[in-house]
Amino acid sequence: MKPAPQQEDYSSQSGGREGGNTRRPFFRRRKICPFSGDKAPKIDYKDVRLLQKFVSERGKIVPSRISAVSCKKQRVLSQAIKRSRFLALLPYVVK
Amino acid sequence: MALYENIFIARQDLTTSQVDSLVDRFSSIVTAQGGQVTKKEYWGLRNLAYPIKKNKKGHYVLFNLDAPPAAILEMERNMGLSEDLLRHLTIKVEELETEPSAMMQSRNREYSREGSFKPRSENADSEMEINPIDSGENS
């Protein structure tokens, strides 16, 4: 429930990217889910190069609050990463 | 009939002809039960991300299947029995990809990059430069 009011705030100030708002000096651009939109890549467990962007150096799945992947896509993504781990395309852990 | 994708990894010390015979064996099982193999892809000998049964590499093969469940069951059973396989994974999909999969496309992308490099180097030596890059990226 928390993020919802925040998002509304951001969209209301969408005009000024550099800030200029006295109330919020650190204006962070609203992140967009990389898998939504027209040209979004298809999540595929065979596409190692794509999946690698959403895996940390240690081999962990990056949380969606950092990667800005939408909730729905994050579920699909994590499934894909786990599949490609099983096939030894991605590591379970990087030591 | 349902649509499936199947990937299996064969042991590293098999020759490509042995892998081919495995491919033929499994696809014949599917076709014998009234299924169809719509696409076969051989990804080559790839490095595994972690060792499986003391193998560091494996032959990857991808099947796109349009087959009844019984055929898939029989094929999976045979894959489980085969000692030449390290892993196999079958997934039911909504649609089968007709184009080459992401793995093959990424390989093509590498080739196209090399193509863009070629005109710069111009000379016949360019081949010498390209080969080490190629092997480095594949490994």
Asked if B79 and B106 sit in the same domain, the reply is no
Q: Give the domain A33-95 fold.
A: 30s Ribosomal Protein S18 (4.10.640)
Asked if B82 and B14 sit in the same domain, the reply is yes
Instruction: Tell me if B81 is assigned to some domain.
Output: yes
Lowest mean pLDDT among A70-84, B67-81, B96-110: B96-110
Tokens 């193998």 belong to which residue?
B55
| Tens-digit pLDDT profile for residues B27-39 | 999 999 999 899 8
Q: Which two tokens stand for residue B119?
A: 């005109």
Helix (H, G, I), strand (E, B) or coil at B61: strand
Instruction: Tell me if B85 is assigned to some domain.
Output: yes
Q: Is B48 within 8 Å of A50 when comparing Cβ atoms? A: no
Instruction: Tell me if B107 is assigned to some domain.
Output: yes
Distance, in Å, from the CA atom of B23 to the CA atom of B63, rounded to the nearest integer, reads 9
Residues of A in contact with B113 (CB under 8 A): none
| Tens-digit pLDDT profile for residues A11-45 | 444 444 554 556 667 887 888 888 888 888 889 99
Q: Is A47 within 8 Å of B102 when comparing Cβ atoms? A: yes
Distance, in Å, from the CA atom of A84 to the CA atom of A48, rounded to the nearest integer, reads 8
Asked if B66 and B10 sit in the same domain, the reply is yes
Instruction: Tell me if B109 is assigned to some domain.
Output: yes
| Tens-digit pLDDT profile for residues A40-54 | 888 999 999 999 999
Q: Which range marks the domain in which residue B107 is found? A: 102-138
Output the domain CATH number for residue B51: 3.30.70.60
Asked if B66 and B126 sit in the same domain, the reply is no
How do B2-10 and B85-92 pair as beta strands?
Answer: antiparallel
Mean pLDDT value of segment B76-94 = 93
Find the CB nearest A46 among B9, B87, B102: B102
For chain A, the domains span: 1-30, 33-95
**pLDDT confidence of A1, banded at 50, 70, 90?**
very low
pTM higher than 0.80 for the full model?
no
State the nearest Cα–Cα gap between A68 and chain B, in angstroms: 23
Asked if B81 and B107 sit in the same domain, the reply is no
DSSP conformational letter for A61? B
pLDDT at residue B105 above 50? Answer: yes
pLDDT at residue B96 above 80? Answer: yes
